[in-house]
RNA sequence: GAGCCGUUAGCUCAGAUGGCAGAGCACCGGACUUUUAAUCCGGGUGUCCUGGGUUCGAAUCCCAGACGGCUCACCA
């Protein structure tokens, strides 16, 4: 890999291609035509507007601007493709229309340059909608050549580190981030239409609560206190429910100091929503309607093609109790999974870890993650998680060991987490005290005690349903992206070598 | 954190057995007034990721390191 193509360090020796482009720029400046002195360009149409409105635009004048992405020179006529935010459009330069001198100005242009052009809308004899250029202006010189036009930019490291190049070169990448934006817009509209208030709560928190995860630690100098980047906004949003905002939601980054994988980025986008006087069943209806709406808005369909499967997002989604799914997968009845010894035998048979020191809950979880989860292709709400691992969720009245909680799965991916919120302050205190004990015993992901949160509950929180949804994963599902990094514009990377 | 794989021209990629560093696109020069991966003729523009080592000789073999990808582990 030559020069500075993949790291962030200053360029070393410049290549021939860059040198040539600098010389062209210098010539333009010497001629008093420095493109970087231009401040604006009056554009009348986007490329897509000309394409879509061709019938009424044919023969009229248009002014377009964008990036020059291809040139086809034929002596006294030249075709070029101009890419703007909406689409590509072909330009036709003819010496008899531009004059010798302006036509020679094409020699100053390179692929990658930003160009403004004015001309007449027409269709060539091969049917291509084209602007026959009467005047053009270089609006910015690209001193570095763009990636190759046919193969695009494949190198994933450069695609992530220099996302602008990925976006220039790869239509699919532009599509993914457009879908992402549409999904988020759809979610906002969905909640706004249902009377939810969008709020912003602290990203830096003195107590990192609302989830079970390791936080990033930072320091506030003036206050001389450590703060934690939030792992979830949950406890603040529920304080707002106490305050009387009966429906609130927040879409924003959360930060978890954990491993990176195709499904995990240390910084990711979480949607959380809380609705007073509702429970986890209401949250299920909310989720299935919301995701179906988002797919419809962003993709125009509630059917998704996913690795050979047709996924149908239309409500209602399947509901299934976690233990029933485990029983089915393990091929045994519930009473055969009540002790660690029984579970160990089952795990052995299923070729899952079965060491002597494994706890019952760990083995059940392994069965779920190993056998059940990959099979949950069609949308499924998995319900009834153990209360012991759900410290903020209300326990089932008829079965206190189980929480009123569910996680939505699609395409084998866990998309979120939701429950009937625990609003009994005394019970909440007991649960967090237990967690704090585990924490003291070394479990860095146990939930910390939060006295102010409990105090808030003591003022009275209505019964409330709450929801968290991983937006990045939804976008992965919608776009078929294989890695979460493909749906995050600037994913975290190790600093480049020599940078 | 572990295992496996990768890193060669601006980009996409070839380079068995160690023996002058290659192709396509891009670029430069020339021809060409309706092409659209334009075509035709001519031209190779390079820290072969980095640092050691083996060797007469290393892109190639060995060691160490950097960065990336995948799988696993932790997690959403």
Q: Each residue's pLDDT tens digit in chain A (499 positions)?
A: 333 333 333 334 467 888 889 999 999 999 999 999 999 999 999 999 999 999 999 999 999 999 999 999 999 999 999 999 999 999 999 999 999 999 999 999 999 999 999 999 999 999 999 999 999 999 999 999 999 888 889 999 999 999 999 999 999 999 999 999 999 999 999 999 999 999 999 999 999 989 888 899 999 999 999 999 999 999 999 999 999 999 999 999 999 998 888 999 999 999 999 999 999 999 999 999 999 999 999 999 999 998 888 999 999 999 999 989 998 888 888 788 888 888 888 888 887 877 777 788 888 888 888 889 989 999 999 999 989 889 999 999 999 999 999 999 999 999 999 999 999 999 999 999 999 888 888 888 889 999 999 999 999 999 999 999 999 999 999 999 999 999 999 998 888 765 4
Amino acid A337: pLDDT: 84
A389: nearest nucleotide, CA–C1' criterion: B75
Amino acid A2: pLDDT: 33
Distance from CA(A460) to C1'(B75), angstroms, rounded: 32
Amino acid A351: pLDDT: 79
Amino acid A279: pLDDT: 96
Distance from CA(A186) to C1'(B37), angstroms, rounded: 38
Question: Per the structure block, which two tokens stand in for A196?
Answer: 């939810």
Distance, CA of A17 to chain centre: 35
Given a contact cutoff of 8 angstroms between Cβ atoms, the answer to whether A310 and A299 are in contact is no
For chain A, the distance separating the N- and C-terminal CA atoms, rounded to the nearest angstrom, is 15
Beta bridge partners of A82: A68, A89
Distance from CA(A299) to C1'(B72), angstroms, rounded: 34
- Closest residue by C-alpha to C1' distance, nucleotide B7: A1
A3: nearest nucleotide, CA–C1' criterion: B47
Amino acid A292: pLDDT: 97
Beta bridge partners of A129: A123
Residue A213 CA to residue A419 CA, distance in Å, equals 18
Amino acid A495: pLDDT: 82
Residue A410 CA to residue A79 CA, distance in Å, equals 47
Amino acid A14: pLDDT: 60
Residue A102 CA to residue A115 CA, distance in Å, equals 14
Distance from CA(A18) to C1'(B45), angstroms, rounded: 11
Residue A384 CA to residue A378 CA, distance in Å, equals 19
Output the CA–CA distances (angstroms, integers) from residue A75 to A70, A79, A110, A111, A471, in the order listed. Answer: 16, 11, 16, 18, 52
Distance from CA(A140) to C1'(B14), angstroms, rounded: 36
- Closest residue by C-alpha to C1' distance, nucleotide B66: A497
> Per-residue b/e over A466-480, b at no fewer than 16 CB within 10 Å?
bbbbbbbbbbbbbbe
Amino acid A499: pLDDT: 44
- Closest residue by C-alpha to C1' distance, nucleotide B30: A75
A119, with CB counted inside 10 A (0-12, 13-18, 19+), is: buried
Residue A491 CA to residue A487 CA, distance in Å, equals 9
Q: Residue A226: which residues within 8 A CB-CB, separation 6 or more? A: A217, A218, A219, A220
Distance from CA(A51) to C1'(B38), angstroms, rounded: 22
Amino acid A15: pLDDT: 78
Residue A123 CA to residue A110 CA, distance in Å, equals 25
- Closest residue by C-alpha to C1' distance, nucleotide B27: A17
Amino acid A244: pLDDT: 97
Residue A80 CA to residue A300 CA, distance in Å, equals 32
CA-nearest of A386, A333, A362 to A347 is: A362
Amino acid A498: pLDDT: 53
- Strand B bases with any atom < 7 A from protein Cβ: 1, 6-13, 24-29, 31-39, 45-47, 49, 65-76
A13: nearest nucleotide, CA–C1' criterion: B47
Sign of CA dihedral A172, A178, A181, A186: negative
Question: Per the structure block, which two tokens stand in for A81?
Answer: 């493709």
CA-nearest of A39, A13, A456 to A209 is: A456
Output the CA–CA distances (angstroms, integers) from residue A390 to A273, A286, A417, in the order listed. Answer: 17, 21, 10
Distance from CA(A259) to C1'(B1), angstroms, rounded: 9
């Amino acid at each position: 890999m030559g020069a500075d193509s993949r790291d962030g360090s200053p360029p070393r020796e410049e290549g021939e291609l860059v040198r040539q482009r600098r010389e062209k720029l210098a010539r333009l400046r010497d001629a008093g035509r420095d493109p970087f002195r231009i401040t604006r360009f009056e554009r009348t149409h986007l490329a897509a507007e000309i394409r879509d409105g061709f019938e009424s635009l044919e023969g009229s004048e248009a002014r377009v601007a964008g990036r020059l992405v291809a040139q086809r020179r034929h002596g006294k006529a030249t075709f070029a493709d101009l890419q703007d935010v909406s689409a590509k459009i072909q330009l036709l330069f003819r010496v008899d229309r531009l004059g010798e001198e302006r036509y020679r100005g094409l020699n100053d242009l390179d692929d990658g340059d930003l160009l403004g052009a004015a001309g007449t809308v027409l269709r060539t004899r091969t049917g291509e909608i084209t602007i026959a250029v009467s005047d053009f202006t270089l609006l910015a010189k690209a001193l570095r050549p763009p990636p190759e036009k046919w193969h695009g930019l494949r190198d994933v490291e450069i695609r992530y580190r220099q996302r602008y190049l990925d976006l220039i070169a790869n239509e699919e990448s532009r599509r993914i981030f457009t879908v992402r934006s549409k999904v988020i817009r759809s979610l906002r509209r969905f909640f706004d239409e249902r009377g939810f208030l969008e709020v912003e709560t602290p990203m830096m928190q003195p107590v990192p609560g609302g989830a079970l995860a390791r936080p990033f630690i930072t320091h506030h100098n003036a206050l001389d206190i450590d703060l934690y980047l939030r792992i979830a906004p949950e406890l603040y949003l529920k304080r707002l429910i106490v305050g009387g905002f009966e429906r609130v939601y927040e879409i924003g980054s959360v930060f978890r100091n954990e491993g990176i994988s195709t499904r995990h980025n240390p910084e990711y986008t979480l949607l959380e929503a809380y609705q007073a006087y509702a429970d986890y069943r209401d949250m299920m209806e909310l989720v299935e309607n919301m995701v179906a709406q988002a797919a419809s808005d962003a993709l125009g369909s509630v059917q998704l093609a996913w690795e050979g499967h047709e996924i149908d997002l239309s409500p209602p989604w399947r509901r299934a109790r976690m233990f029933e799914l485990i029983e089915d997968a393990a091929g045994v009845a519930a009473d055969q999974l009540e002790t660690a010894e029984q579970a160990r035998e089952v795990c052995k048979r299923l070729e899952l870890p079965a060491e002597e020191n494994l706890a019952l809950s760990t083995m059940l979880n392994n069965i779920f993650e190993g056998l059940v989860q990959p099979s949950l292709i069609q949308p499924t709400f998995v319900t009834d998680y153990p209360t012991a691992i759900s410290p903020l969720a209300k326990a089932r009245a008829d079965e206190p060991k189980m929480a009123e909680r569910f996680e939505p799965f699609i395409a084998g991916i866990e998309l979120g987490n939701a429950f009937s919120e625990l609003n009994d302050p005394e019970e909440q205190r007991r649960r967090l005290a237990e967690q704090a004990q585990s924490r003291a015993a070394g479990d860095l992901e146990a939930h910390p005690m939060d006295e102010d949160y409990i105090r808030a509950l003591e003022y009275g929180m209505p019964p409330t349903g709450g929801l968290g949804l991983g937006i990045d994963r939804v976008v992965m599902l919608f776009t078929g992206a294989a890695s979460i990094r493909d749906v995050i514009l600037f994913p975290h990377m190790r600093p480049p070598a020599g940078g």
